[in-house]
Chains A and B, each alone.
Chain A
Amino acid sequence: MALRAAVLRHIRLPVQTLTATGSRPQPQWSFLRLFSSHDDHLTKEEVIDRVLDVVKSFPKVDPSKVTPDVHFQKDLGLDSLDNVEIVMALEEEFKLEIPDKEADKIDSCNLAIEYIYNHPMAG
């Protein structure tokens, strides 16, 4: 018995790691674990669609000009206070709580989409 244990301790078998066989495309920067109940994060297209909808339904914005890399103040001609209002609308849409300093930095659609996509609690 002790010999068996000693032999087993010394033998190492190579472990075949299972490679993901292209069943789901995994984005590089996501920190979600596949095959768990936590893989209900939003996809990037959903985030983009919803963010653009929120921005388009803002009364001071011309909907035809809104693209995923539009800058709120430079391209859409909005005010800094309008920026604050848009960020608040995004917070309400995705049920997030963005800290004040972070919310101040969100200036364009790009930043908003990136922030929301990388937020673990984005609804």
Chain B
Amino acid sequence: MSGATTAAYLARRAAQKERVRILYRRALKDKLNWAVHRHLFYQDASDLREKFEANKHVEDLDTIDKMIAAGEATYDKWRHPDPYIVPWAPGGSKFTRNPVPPSGIEIVYDYGREEND
């Protein structure tokens, strides 16, 4: 195959590998969202890993691109509507709940004392 190890080929492969890793990460988190119980999650996680491993040895760039696009479409289709996000992260329940007050504002502890005391 011409251009087997040119820089452009390698750059494209590296970009594809990164897409695959990010897709695997999101799909795994999604599996955890759907299957809350760990034993079900382990089952689903091994199935997902099998699917990724089966296509590990594909070399043709265009086929890989198509497979990644198909994988991302499947992931979009199966996304959980209410994923678990850590509370302080964007999308979580505690995010920007108690923002830091602007500087210069402070609480005056006068305990209701009148001003002319």
Interface residues of A (CB under 8 A from B): 80-81, 83-85, 87-88, 95-97, 100, 103-104, 121
Contacts and interface: CB of A to CB of B under 8 A. Distances in A.
A88 B33 CA distance: 13
Interface of A, secondary structure class, is helix
Contacts of A81: 21, 24, 49, 52-53
Interface of B, secondary structure class, is helix
A95 B20 CA distance: 24
Interface of B: 17-18, 20-22, 24-26, 28-29, 45, 49, 52-53, 85-86, 88-89, 92
Contacts of B89: 97
Contacts of A103: 25
Contact of B18 (A85, A96, A97, A104): A104
23 contacts: A80-B17, A80-B21, A81-B21, A81-B24, A81-B49, A81-B52, A81-B53, A84-B21, A84-B24, A84-B25, A85-B28, A87-B25, A88-B28, A88-B29, A96-B86, A97-B85, A97-B92, A100-B22, A103-B25, A104-B21, A104-B22, A121-B86, A121-B88
